[in-house]
């Protein structure tokens, strides 16, 4: 088991678009194991490689007892949405309501380079979207409506773990009219 330190809001790696994985080798399998061990230890519903300082397009998930990972993910999202609290291991103990697609299909690869397709709804769909956003340097607070984002940034500034002034990034993904 190799539990890694989770990077907190303010770390530049969280705002950097991750590189695609090109080598499906022993190092990638070690990264997937480290991500899984760290996510389970935290505990969290998901963890993306940038959250442990690795700028590669990989994330793990643990939703309703289903544990897995996706390498180089792409998502197909439903038009139907869900609204509910969302949190992040890189923004600890500060959940805020966020709109996401109700269903998502994640396409990508496993740690050996085999193609995978995973369908999820509700919490699993939310997790896929949240973790894929991390791979694009987007945080869930970027998806909040104006008032919720202000409240989130205020809470971050006041958090014991906060390391500086928050920055907001425009999401390259559908925000369902919430982010401005």
Among residues 27, 66, 111, 131, the one annotated as catalytic is 131
Residues 6+ apart with CB under 8 A from 154: none
Annotation says 86 is catalytic: no
34 phi and psi, to 5 degrees?
-60, -45
Is residue 63 within 8 Å of 123, Cβ to Cβ? yes
Is residue 56 within 8 Å of 75, Cβ to Cβ? no
What is the rounded distance in angstroms from the CA atom of residue 155 to the CA atom of residue 1?
Answer: 33
The Cα diameter of the chain in Å comes to 45
Residues forming the active site: 131
């Amino acid at each position: 088991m190799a539990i890694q330190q989770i990077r907190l809001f303010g770390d530049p790696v969280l705002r950097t678009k991750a590189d695609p994985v090109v080598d499906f080798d022993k190092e990638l399998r070690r990264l997937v194991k480290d991500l899984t061990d760290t996510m389970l230890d935290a505990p969290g519903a998901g963890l993306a490689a940038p959250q442990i300082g690795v700028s590669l397009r990989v994330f793990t998930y643990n939703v309703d007892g289903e544990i897995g990972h996706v390498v180089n993910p792409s998502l197909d999202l439903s038009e139907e949405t869900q609204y509910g609290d969302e949190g992040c291991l890189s923004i600890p103990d500060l959940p805020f309501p966020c709109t996401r697609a109700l269903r998502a299909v994640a396409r990508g690869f496993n740690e050996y380079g085999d193609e995978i397709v995973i369908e999820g709804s509700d919490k699993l769909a939310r997790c896929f979207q949240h973790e894929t956003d991390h791979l694009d340097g987007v945080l869930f607070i970027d998806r909040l409506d104006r008032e919720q984002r202000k409240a989130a940034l205020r809470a971050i500034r006041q958090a014991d773990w906060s390391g500086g002034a928050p920055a907001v990034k425009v999401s390259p993904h559908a925000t369902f009219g919430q982010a401005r």
